[in-house]
Structure 1
């Protein structure tokens, strides 16, 4: 029953990732990136309230943790009326010029994976989102274990997770505006760089300051990369036509994050905290190099495709 309940919660949680795409599709042109960061404000609230609500709910009933699941159920029910307030769905716009080969009916349908493979924005999102999610998951899962093995207090272990969550969501207050000013490519490079900085801090030792820096940087780096990757994906299709491409990227991100979570205990058991941080550098370093080269080489093509997608939007509105 516990495994079944957890699976259902996971299925519920998996739908949450699509909310940001809906927000971007419904936002007016020029405010799509801003809408992505606004959606993430909810995570900031959870980062501050979660560490206090979780232990209080777990002790609310005679049987421990019954209140925790009751709280999750109440939050899930509270989301239903909020979802019903969405008064309209984004209507599909025509494909960018040259992308559709299947006829007029297909033009109003979801963008195909074949279209996505030829779009550098989609390719970038398909690389950035899974790998950044995997690195963040790896650090988040290992951090509390490493804190215990380093003989830090339980309070520090809780603080590591709390400030990691703050790092994941607090930058949404500025990252959306920053991305609007410097673009998703520079934002993604900034995020990867911050993640690498956290890897350096973790590799330097298992002291409280080093671990806290590593956990915060992993969260902040993920925020920037997550927003940039989502912006790349939103730019890869016309409004209302992204369901298939979204599913591919979300599925890949979830699968890679699951693998990172499953491997985190083995990585810590065999490598320890410091070498696990070196592993972050081993993955993040090549990712940074790839993004610099691929992004620079395809910047012109990506911008051209983005303009084509934008020019198709009035078709849907008409």
Structure 2
């Protein structure tokens, strides 16, 4: 009989640390497809449309909608076949989507291009699971660090994606932008190679006396106040980021800046999204998750203020950098809060529900971004940040008071 020993805390964190490094590498290459789609989605959409540019951001909406639609299937697939095989399937879907996008641009079809980016987004739903996969192992205190370490891989993605656009967008001229999507396949192939070194998933240990335990019903998990507030804040941070970022390239082009300048703006933005991940986990461990989420939301307010101050290149780039930092604090903090609300056997459905809600809202935000920009301008896009942030901050204050009251009631009952 084989006796299974329970790893010590140090051994468990060592395993989690190795996994986080590998997932960070996957994030670097597989995640680079996202800034590629974001940098070119609206601009290429505008190129494919006629005089009316109101639907120019629809391809980016297709991408985010694909992420939303892929959230639950990605979580279910990984529960069935494990993280490693699931991530490899996601990368293969992404390769097909990039080929589809290249072909759609070649035949000059706007709606085929939107569908192609939806396929890319479906693949991106698997990439979003890297952060949760990193939290599968390690002690409770290490999980936030593991999530932030994985997102550090986004720093490399922030360079690889936009630089692929700048260097290869004219590769297939006279069809603009098609070369960048074709070249993006090399990034996903590289991520596939890295995935070969991932260790097989560790199955959830069965609960004694319970067959095929799947935990609490999803409705019960969702009704937890901490889950609801965490999803609200994470969704707000991500949706506001998508709203402003999607409109930014078109707004910059409309103000006379070049495609390369707008792409570099996206590069600085994505670097700001992932750069703070070097220390976000440590800040969460020191100050707590809700405070870091609140800080991120306040930084999003600062982004909107800078954007409303003018339309020079410094205003656009400065706002995009603040937008990335605010997203990092808000999203990582909220993700870490979500991981506290489910048991190991419940992670698939809880994570899938979180991502479905989050990316469904993000898809709506990216679609509304183009409509708002076309109808009311760049200022209106940024003005929406204020009420959404205030609602989210109010929810955090309410949660803090509720948990403090519950803790006091528990102390009284225990006396």
Task: Give, in whole Å, the separation in 2 of the partners of 1:170 and 1:116.
Answer: 32
| CA distance in structure 2 between the partners assigned to 1:299 and 1:188 by the alignment | 18
Gap change, CA 1:153 and 1:54, over 3 Å in 2: closer
Is 1:136 paired with 2:247? no
1:126 aligns with 2:231: yes
Q: Cα 1:29–1:288, aligned 2, differ >3 Å: closer, same or farther?
A: closer
Equivalence for 1:192 = 297
Check if 1:79 corresponds to 2:191.
yes
> So what's the TM-score if we normalise by structure 2?
0.65
For the Cα contact (< 8 Å) 1:198–1:214, is it kept in 2? Answer: yes
Deviation at 1:28, TM superposition (A): 3.3
Question: Within 2, Cα distance between the matches of 1:73 and 1:154?
Answer: 22
2:164 pairs, out of 53, 61, 64, with 53
Measured in 1, the distance between the counterparts of 2:392 and 2:119 equals 33
Cα contact 1:112–1:245 (8 A) shared by 2? no
Aligned counterpart, 1:310: none
Counterpart of 2:251 in structure 1 is 146
Determine helix, strand or coil for the equivalent of 2:136: helix
Given that 2:307 and 2:316 are in contact with CA atoms closer than 8 Å, whether structure 1 keeps it comes out as yes
Is 1:27 aligned to 2:132, yes or no? Answer: no
Could you tell me whether the CA contact under 8 Å between 2:215 and 2:343 is conserved in 1?
no
Q: What is the aligned-residue RMSD (CA, Å)?
A: 2.5
Q: Is the 8 A contact 1:93 1:238 kept in 2?
A: no
Matched residue, 1:311: none
Gaps of 5+ in 2: 1-99, 105-111, 410-415
Instruction: Tell me by how many angstroms 1:243 deviates.
Output: 0.5
Give yes or no for contact 2:226–2:399 (8 Å, CA) kept in 1.
Answer: no
- 2:214 partner SS: coil
Distance of 2:206 and 2:289 partners within structure 1 = 24
Residue in structure 2 matched with residue 161 of structure 1 by the alignment: 266
Contact residue 204 and residue 344 of structure 2 kept, 8 A: yes
Which deviates the most, 225-234 or 279-288? 279-288
Distance 1:184 1:192 in 2: 13
TM-score under structure 1 normalisation? Answer: 0.83
Q: In structure 2, what is the equivalent of residue 238 of structure 1?
A: 343
Note if contact 2:253-2:259 (Cα within 8 Å) is conserved in structure 1: yes
Report the equivalent of 2:280.
175
Which among 114, 117, 135 is matched to residue 219 of structure 2? 114
CA–CA distance in structure 2, aligned partners of residues 211 and 71 of structure 1: 28
Q: What's the counterpart of residue 17 of structure 1? A: 128
After superposition, the C-alpha distances for 1:200-221 in whole angstroms (9 at most, x for unaligned) are: 2222332333322221111111
Asked if the contact 1:196–1:285 (Cα under 8 Å) also holds between the matched residues in 2, the reply is: no
Q: 1:291-306, aligned counterparts within 5 Å?
A: 291-298=396-403
Structure 1's 125 and 91: CA in aligned 2 closer, same or farther, altered over 3 A? Answer: farther
Following superposition, which runs of at least 4 residues in structure 1 exceed 6 angstroms of deviation?
none
Matched, 1:88 2:194: no
Give CA deviations for 1:143-167 in whole Å, capped at 9, x if unaligned.
Answer: 1222223334545423321211111
Cα distance per residue 1:154-196 (max 9 Å; x no partner): 4542332121111111111111111111111101000001001
**Alignment check: 8 A CA contact 1:122 1:236 kept:** yes
- The answer on whether the counterparts of 2:242 and 2:362 sit within 8 Å (CA) in structure 1 is yes
1:79-122, Cα deviation, whole Å (9 max, x unpaired): 23433433232433679xxxxxxx9336x325431331342331
Paired positions, count = 295
| 1:136–1:219 Cα contact (<8 Å) kept | yes
**1-side partners of 2:165 and 2:263: how far apart?**
12
Structure-1 separation of matches of 2:253 and 2:306:
18
- Alpha-carbon displacement from aligned partner over 1:128-149 (angstroms, at most 9, x marks no partner): 2222111000110111222223
Output the CA distance in 1 between the equivalents of 2:406 and 2:206. Answer: 19
**Mapped contact 2:270–2:324 kept (Cα < 8 A):** yes
Matches of 2:397 and 2:218 in 1, distance apart? Answer: 24
